[in-house]
Structures are given as C-alpha cells and as structure tokens.
Amino acid sequence: MKRYLEKIIQGNSLTVAEMMEASEYLFQEQTSDSEIAAFLVALKAKGESVDEIVGLVNVVRKHALKIDTTATNMLDNCGTGGDGSKSFNISTTAAFVMAGAGVTVAKHGNRSISSKTGSADVLEHLGVRLDFTPEEMKELLEMNGIAFLFAPHIHSGIKRVMKVRKDLGIPTIFNLIGPLTNPVDLDSQLLGIYRRDMIETMALAMNKLGRKRGVVVNGAGHMDEASLAGENHLAIIEDNQIKLITLTPEEVHLPVIPNAEITGGDSKDNAKILRSILDGESSVFRDTVLLNAGLGLFAHGTANSVQHGIELAAESIDSGRAKEKLDNLIHYSNKGAIAK
C-alpha cells in the first residue's frame, strides 16, 4: 500500500493491475484506518483516473455477494448521489417503468445520500425487503424482470472503508464508483453523476468494464439525473465509442420545469409520489421520470432514440405494467412468490 501511495502522491496514476492490488489492502484487517484514509485522500488530490476506477470496481465486485442468474441483457440506472437536489426518487421510479417496458433491471441502490430519501428508504416504506438472498434476487430478475440490490447487503465486506469515508467527511472515489459495482454482469447502464467534469471518465470506465451500451448523464443544475430544468450533458457509449452531446427537454417534447418543483420529502411523501406516477397521474414528477426512463431505454437499446424511449416509458405506465412490477416485488417480499 505504501508503494502505491507514494506513486499517487507524486502525481502518477496507477494501472488497473496496480489499483487492484492496492484495493485488496482495503479489505484486509491489518490495513489501518489511517492508511485507508491517506490512500483515498491522495487519490482525490491527484484526481481519479479511468484505470483506477476500473481497478477498484473490479475488486469491490470480486468481494460482493454473488448472484448467479440466467437473466441476460440486464440494465441498472443507479446514480452516484451527491447532487444535493433533494429530489424525489427519480431513478427508482424509472426502474419500474423500464422493467414494465420489458427491460430486466438489476436496481442497485442505497439509503439517502443527497436526497431526503434514498431508493432503499422509499422501497422499504412501500413494503420491499432489503435483505433478499442471492437465490431470491436471481428469481426476481428472471421472473419479475426487476430486483432491488441493496448496496450495504451486497457489499458487506467494505464496512470499515465506509466508516473511514464517513470520518473523512469529504467525497472520495467511493462517491463515484457505487453505480459501477453492481454484482451482476450488466450489458448496459444509465449512470447519473453529480460531477460534470467526470462524465467522459465514467463513460470510459463503463466501457472498459464491459458495458456494450450506456449513457452517463449530468443534468441541468448538476443533478445526477436527467433534468427538465434545461441542458443535460450526456456521454453515450456505443460500439466502443464515446459521444458527448447535450439534450434539452424541448428536443424531446417535454416541458421545461425548474428543479425546485421536483423536490421530494420523507419516505412516506416519496412513496406517495412514486405511486402516483405508476398510477398514471399527470405531473411534473411523471414528466421527469419519462425523460429518465426514456434515456435508460435508449441506453439499453430497446429504444432507437430518447424520444422513442419516452414513448415506450409512457406506454409502460399507462398500461399498468410498471405498477405491476412494483406490486410483484412487494408481494414477493411478503409472500416469497411472484404475484399471479
């Protein structure tokens, strides 16, 4: 660890192999909290490279709970958090909409980071368990087309690193990699990030980690979601190429809405918003979810454009299929079976 720390302090980036070896020390009991803290701070001061992100993600996934599923062409739409927007649970709601459109969604998530209520908080309030076994997650992915993968349950081996992060009180590389550490092998991904300067870096990392298609988005107002407030900055991954573009709501026939109008509340409030969207109610919340689900369906390849994705997302909601995916997840949580 000391050798790699010295290299980083000198301003040099680690290779994937070096970062993987250094990252293994983070899981070892003999590595002190001060060593972990020094490593994370040095990385942040230098600036995290693509290879360092990829190396750390490889190791975190290696130590994660294993989910052996026959489901294929899976997508996740987890964001990094950290935007401070206090928005409602956009990506969580969009996950059910995409599942209702026929995409298998391995929804990775956590408790609150930047919102008032995280994905785990709102789903728990709705009656979804957070402690699914690997076998249950496998069954949900294969039979329901969506499962919730609670990050602390999946990544129990990095509790000590999480404690050091909390003690440091500053963003580190772990604030970036969360969405990339999904334990299942994703073919595609929609990744929201609060740092606009890292859009291309994260896209390159996603591509290097094997995503065939993907979109990294930093929304208007620097949200880690696509926003109706103005210009969204995107990196699109396709055919091993990265294309940087911007997207406004007007371009996809959606209204311009200030971010302040999509503020959420506690888990009860956000559960009510989520339910209202899946029940088909028209609102700024629905329009925001349509944009994000549309982007996800485009990232997956189910839609041939974002506009097409928005149309498929609206159909998923209005047909009741998105709501059915949530109800099945709740029923399974309580009865151990998919609802008939």
320: left (phi > 0), else alpha (psi -120 to 50), else beta?
left
> Taking 90 as the threshold, does the pLDDT of residue 57 lie above it?
yes
pLDDT category, 335, cuts 50, 70, 90?
A: confident
Residue 267 labeled ligand binder: no
pLDDT tens digits, residue range 126-157? Answer: 999 999 999 999 999 999 999 999 999 999 88
Q: For position 147, which CATH number holds?
A: 3.40.1030.10
Q: Write the single-letter amino acid at 311.
A: E
Residue 305 labeled ligand binder: no
Residue 31 labeled ligand binder: no
Nearest residue to 19 (alpha-carbon basis) of 63, 65, 60? 60
Question: Residue 161: what pLDDT?
Answer: 92
Residue 321 labeled ligand binder: no
| pTM flag (> 0.85) | yes
Residue 165 labeled ligand binder: yes
Question: Residue 220: what pLDDT?
Answer: 97
Residue 113 labeled ligand binder: yes
Residue 225 labeled ligand binder: yes
Question: Residue 269: what pLDDT?
Answer: 96
Residue 57 lies in a domain: no
Residue 23 labeled ligand binder: no
pLDDT tens digits, residue range 242-262? Answer: 999 999 999 999 999 999 999
Q: 10-48 burial, b if ≥16 CB within 10 A, otherwise e?
A: eeebbebebbbbbbebbeeeebeeebbbbbbbbbbebeb
- Is 69 strand, coil or helix? coil
> Taking 70 as the threshold, does the pLDDT of residue 113 lie above it?
no
Residue 55 labeled ligand binder: no
Give Cβ neighbours of residue 3 (< 8 Å, ≥ 6 apart).
none
Residue 165 lies in a domain: no
Residue 335 labeled ligand binder: no
> Taking 90 as the threshold, does the pLDDT of residue 205 lie above it?
yes
pLDDT tens digits, residue range 6-39? Answer: 999 999 999 999 999 999 999 898 999 999 999 9
Q: How many domains does the chain have?
A: 1
Residue 63 lies in a domain: no
Residue 208 lies in a domain: yes
Q: Strands 213-218 and 241-247: what pairing?
A: unpaired
Residue 293 lies in a domain: yes
**Angle at which helices 90-100 and 284-300 cross, to 10°:** 60
**Can you tell me the distance from the alpha carbon of 86 to that of 261, in angstroms, rounded to the nearest whole number?**
11
Residue 111 labeled ligand binder: yes
pLDDT tens digits, residue range 159-197? Answer: 889 899 889 989 999 999 999 999 999 999 999 999 999
Residue 182 labeled ligand binder: no
Residue 92 labeled ligand binder: yes
**Can you tell me the distance from the alpha carbon of 13 to that of 9, in angstroms, rounded to the nearest whole number?**
9
The mean pLDDT of 45-54, rounded to a whole number, is: 97
Residue 259 labeled ligand binder: no
Residue 316 labeled ligand binder: no
Residue 83 labeled ligand binder: yes
- Six token digits for residue 236: 């699109």
Question: Residue 339: what pLDDT?
Answer: 65
> DSSP class of residue 231?
P
Residue 90 labeled ligand binder: yes
Please give the residue range of the domain that contains residue 257.
75-153+184-331
Residue 36 lies in a domain: no
Residue 250 lies in a domain: yes
**Can you tell me the distance from the alpha carbon of 224 to that of 194, in angstroms, rounded to the nearest whole number?**
5
pLDDT category, 117, cuts 50, 70, 90?
A: confident
Residue 39 lies in a domain: no
> Taking 90 as the threshold, does the pLDDT of residue 119 lie above it?
yes
